[in-house]
Structure 1
């Protein structure tokens, strides 16, 4: 059965499992034919109420369509969407463009659904792509901006977020909640108001992403909160107020990342639980602080990382000065971080490693040459971010 809504008959021609749209088409359009192929290249589907295009059967494929508008509901969890999938296992959206809709694509109870090559500009309040209870669904090769969260994933084990451009969104680029086995790989997430987050899950992997320029006072490249056995590997964290934040994260592996020009590269903080992490083979360059810890019971193995502050001697290196450790517990001292006295204090510690505190020390550090022209802007935001982070938590 196929429900076409208010659709001019001259706008389409169907032949068996293929529906070809052309010209301007007025929605809403509801499709319930399993395995239907919708060819929409050159067509524009307009909507003003509800979901503009609904796919309600397995295996439907939509290619090349442009969708403009949807109903007005912009509730974050139940927004009206340009394209809505429910019970649409294995469905495919490919090379679709969306404008002027609260959400671009809303996917529910549709395992294995794939969104590929989506281009969408949001209205600011809803997710761009929402994956809910959709095992192994995926978003790849897409460009999303102007949403609250570009991609929001909830209760969708095995989901994949790969090779997307996520920029200038109102909160997060990618936001994963209550899911496990999710792979976030090869994305460029930049200039979002807060950053990116993976929360309340287990066994997730965040690898080979560029997480850049989240410079608001509370901005971070990535927040891992209440995660278990999650891996953060081979990412670049650059120009963020806070690079990577671990909050109540257990068994986390932070491996082979590059932290460059952040206010604070890695922050380990505690809300209700505790933290344990393995931090190995990362590179720290041009950060105001490489490591801040405000969890007194944190268990962190820090080993074999490369630092532009390492003394080049065969001695352990603490990637945070004693002032930085104090700062993590009393963020209001951020105001003094660039004062001549503190700069001298940290300089002396850098030349005389025996004065350093040895908790959380890296026993096998690798020295890196210092970078020239360290940008002061994100570093100062790092100081302010430390204060506001502490104030926000209490």
Structure 2
């Protein structure tokens, strides 16, 4: 089967609309016939040099193929891939399995390329799916584990990442950079070493995802950094050291999310820019802290959220405290977070909040039923992670 990889190199374009592979096929294989359909039918394509399968023309479709191995290059931005798409507009990968390759799929300059039903296990140093300058590309219904980032995106407006399982990766589940109007929806991202991130873009949407169990010292469900006009809606943040972090984020809408049993549910912090956010109609339950603000100039509109600590009366509720603000600046004090003195301090302050904090009060809080049995998870996350987060930022 080796000659299949040489046909385009010899200038003999594959004329047939369908190329059926079977058994063991030795790569690398290079295909450049527009509209070609490659049917794997359970075939195994193996490679040890460069990209194992290269797709270099529009409209190619690959179905039901298993790819094993690729070249050794693990550079994060230019890795060898099991499947490499270049100039492959509207190409489709469906039902592909990958193992033993630095990167499963590398997509460059391939608008509207679609990856559906990918199953891939990584080697730990490169992205699982790398998408670069490919507007409206799609990664959906796939499962990726064991990579540095499961899905890494740059300069790809309108990108869609939806319905994927992204777990136990060395840094991020999804990581979207320098893109706008991207949609990250209905993914399950859990137990990644750091979490998930949307950075340096605008008008992106992160919605209906489950962001779970990012419990490392710097773990967060989602980092929104240097974004403008991005929306974070209807997500579940559960069991993270930090649920949602807004860092130099302008005009961000945080709406209808559930923050359950995180160390800190929502943290607003500043590095060089400024923060402005609307925090509306979310539910906070079982977190060590619902809100920490490490930016005295942050503009946060907090309204209509539900809290397990709300008094149940039609009065404003303050989802933070002066100790929480102090903790945001000196996380080593997290060791005192549940000490009797601090509990008494915060209880008293909840009755008569300091004037300096009133701008963060929710004027229309909704109560949630108190936990019948308090969980130790947010306590352990907050105490164990606060200090190390602060040291990492420094």
Verify same fold: TM over 0.5. yes
In structure 1, what is the Cα distance between the partners aligned to 2:207 and 2:182? 11
Q: Decide whether the 8 Å contact of 2:262 with 2:377 is kept in 1.
A: no
Q: Unaligned 5+ residue runs, structure 2? A: 8-13
Counterpart position of 1:66: 66
Counterpart position of 1:11: none
Please list the CA deviations of residues 174-218 of structure 1 after superposition, one character each: whole Å capped at 9, or x if unmatched.
000000000000000000000000000000000000000000010
Cα displacement (A) at 1:391: 1.9
In structure 1, what is the Cα distance between the partners aligned to 2:383 and 2:291? 13
Counterpart position of 1:271: 271
Cα gap change, 1:84 to 1:354, in 2 (>3 Å):
closer
Counterpart position of 2:238: 238
Larger deviation: 354-363 or 271-280?
354-363
Counterpart position of 2:98: 98
Counterpart position of 2:327: 327
Cα displacement (A) at 1:359: 2.6
Counterpart position of 2:317: 317
DSSP-derived class of the 1:384 partner? helix
Q: Decide whether the 8 Å contact of 1:317 with 1:353 is kept in 2.
A: no
RMSD: 1.6
In structure 1, what is the Cα distance between the partners aligned to 2:352 and 2:265? 21
Q: Decide whether the 8 Å contact of 2:318 with 2:353 is kept in 1.
A: no
In structure 2, what is the Cα distance between the partners aligned to 1:106 and 1:239? 32
DSSP-derived class of the 2:360 partner? coil
Q: Decide whether the 8 Å contact of 1:3 with 1:31 is kept in 2.
A: no
User: Could you list the runs of 4 or more consecutive aligned residues of structure 1 that deviate by over 6 angstroms after TM superposition?
Assistant: none
In structure 2, what is the Cα distance between the partners aligned to 1:15 and 1:30? 14
DSSP-derived class of the 2:158 partner? coil
Q: Decide whether the 8 Å contact of 1:288 with 1:382 is kept in 2.
A: yes
In structure 2, what is the Cα distance between the partners aligned to 1:157 and 1:3? 38
Counterpart position of 1:383: 383
In structure 2, what is the Cα distance between the partners aligned to 1:122 and 1:16? 34
Please list the CA deviations of residues 139-164 of structure 1 after superposition, one character each: whole Å capped at 9, or x if unmatched.
00000000000000000000000000
- Could you state the TM-score of these two structures normalised by the residue count of structure 2? 0.95
How many aligned residue pairs are there?
386
Q: Decide whether the 8 Å contact of 1:189 with 1:212 is kept in 2.
A: yes
- Could you state the TM-score of these two structures normalised by the residue count of structure 1? 0.95
In structure 1, what is the Cα distance between the partners aligned to 2:58 and 2:353? 65
Q: Unaligned 5+ residue runs, structure 1? A: 8-13
Q: Decide whether the 8 Å contact of 1:6 with 1:27 is kept in 2.
A: no
